[in-house]
């Protein structure tokens, strides 16, 4: 198993509100997570840092995450704790009022793979050399697509495509979407919307299939995103299972 993560402020923003983490627990089970903060300078990055720090600390201390049901319960409990921490921070620091973060995560064990998502960062698997999106975005345009009011093509250029319907810190009670995936995969790829707004899945997939290191692939995705305008912070995390194509 090999993994790498990267985050970059992009070409327009003067600071980076994304945070990313990959860590293992004592059984070598792997947590990957990307949090894309919102709320402006010294607010969004605080929310996203709270999210990945709390996740990482709790996960790395575990001997094992346990069964699938144990994992789902752990995710939901931990996300509720993160939401409460962000909310408490805004109470204690009024200048950060309105801050929040998206959160996409995956947990890989020997027996199963679980994704969780709140917001518009994305979680994919790689199977047969192809990206397959697992998570569903919590955005206004995603809602309009589901009701048939927008096509995928129309949504890509919609003026309100980044309007979120759900984020950590935006409400007192939050529920994360959970996705169970069969463990027969070649890899896991997570990214913030700063990447998917600049590159489509085919362009990302092409880079991930190049015969270079994981680090080189992610650096190339950042470069391509920035060359197309780099209008947002960009983060990605990539894991390849042992014996699979890197």
pLDDT tens for each residue of 83-127: 999 999 988 998 888 899 999 999 999 999 999 999 999 999 999
What does the pLDDT average to over 129-152? 73
pLDDT at 161: 57
Indicate whether 143 pLDDT > 80.
Answer: no
- Tell me what the pLDDT averaged over the chain comes to: 90
- Residue 171: pLDDT band with limits 50, 70, 90: confident
The position carrying tokens 């093509």 is 153
pLDDT at 172: 78
Percent of the chain topping pLDDT 70:
86
pLDDT at 97: 85
CATH code of the domain made up of 2-135+166-240:
3.60.40.10
- Residue 32: pLDDT band with limits 50, 70, 90: very high
Looking at the DSSP bridge assignments, the partners of residue 177 are 117
Assessment of whether the complete model's pTM goes beyond 0.85: yes
Give long-range contacts, CB 8 A cutoff, 24+ apart: 49-52. 49/19, 50/82, 50/85, 50/86, 50/89, 50/101, 51/19, 51/82, 51/86, 51/101, 51/103, 51/168, 52/19, 52/20, 52/21
190 and 123 Cβ atoms separated by less than 8 Å = yes
pLDDT at 142: 61
What does the pLDDT average to over 7-34? 96
**DSSP classification of residue 170:** S
Half-sphere exposure of 31 (CA within 13 A, CB side): 31
Q: What region does 74 belong to: left with phi over 0, alpha with psi -120 to 50, or beta? A: alpha
Indicate whether 149 pLDDT > 80.
Answer: no
pLDDT at 181: 94
Span of 54-63, 155-164, 214-223 with lowest mean pLDDT: 155-164
Per-domain residue ranges for the chain?
A: 2-135+166-240
Strands (E), the chain: 2-8, 18-24, 30-38, 100-101, 103-108, 113-118, 122-127, 130-133, 177-181, 187-191, 234-240
Indicate whether 187 pLDDT > 90.
Answer: yes
């Amino acid at each position: 198993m090999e993994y790498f993560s990267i985050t970059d402020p992009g070409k327009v923003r003067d600071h980076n509100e994304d945070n990313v983490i990959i860590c293992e627990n004592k059984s070598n089970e792997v947590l990957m997570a990307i949090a894309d903060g919102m709320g402006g300078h010294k607010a969004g990055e605080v929310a996203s840092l709270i999210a990945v720090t709390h996740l990482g600390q709790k996960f790395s201390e575990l001997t094992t995450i346990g069964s699938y049901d144990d994992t789902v319960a752990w995710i939901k409990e931990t996300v509720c704790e993160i939401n409460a921490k962000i909310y408490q921070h805004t109470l204690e620091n009024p200048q950060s009022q309105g801050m929040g973060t998206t959160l996409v995560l995956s947990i890989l064990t020997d027996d199963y793979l679980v994704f969780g998502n709140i917001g518009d960062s994305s979680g994919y698997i790689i199977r047969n050399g192809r990206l397959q999106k697992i998570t569903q975005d919590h955005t206004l345009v995603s809602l309009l697509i589901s009701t048939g009011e927008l096509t995928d093509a129309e949504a890509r250029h919609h003026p309100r495509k980044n309007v979120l319907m759900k984020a950590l810190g935006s409400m007192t009670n939050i529920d994360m979407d959970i996705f169970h995936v069969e463990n027969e995969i070649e890899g896991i790829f997570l990214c913030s919307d700063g990447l998917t707004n600049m590159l489509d899945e085919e362009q990302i997939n092409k880079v991930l299939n190049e015969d270079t290191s994981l680090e080189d692939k992610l650096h190339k995705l950042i470069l391509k995103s920035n060359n197309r305008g780099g209008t947002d912070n960009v983060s990605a995390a990539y894991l390849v299972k042992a014996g699979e194509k890197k």
